Amino acid sequence: MVATLKLPIVAINFKAYPTAYGQRGLDIARWADSVYREYGGNVRVIVAPPATELKAIVESVEIDVFAQHVDPVNLGARTGYIPLEIVKECGVRGSIINHSEHRLRVNEVAFLTKKARALGLTTLVCADTPEVGAALSILKPDMVAVEPPELIGTGIAVSKARPEVVTNSIRDVVILTGAGISSGKDVEAAIKLGTSGVLVASAVMKAKDPKSVLKDMVEHAYRAWEEAVREAL
Residue 147 is among the residues annotated as catalytic for this protein = yes
Enclosing H/E stretch for 199: strand 197-200
What's the full length of the chain, in residues? 233
Q: Which residue among the candidates 53, 69, 99, 220 is catalytic per the annotation? A: 99
Indicate which residue of 69, 147, 188, 220 is catalytic: 147
The CA distance from 44 to 21, in Å, is 22
- H or E stretch covering 37: helix 22-38
Burial 192-206 (b: 16+ CB within 10 A, else e): bbbbbbbbbbbbbbb
Instruction: State how far the Cα of 191 lies from the Cα of 186, in Å rounded to an integer.
Output: 9
Task: Just list the catalytic residues.
Answer: 99, 147
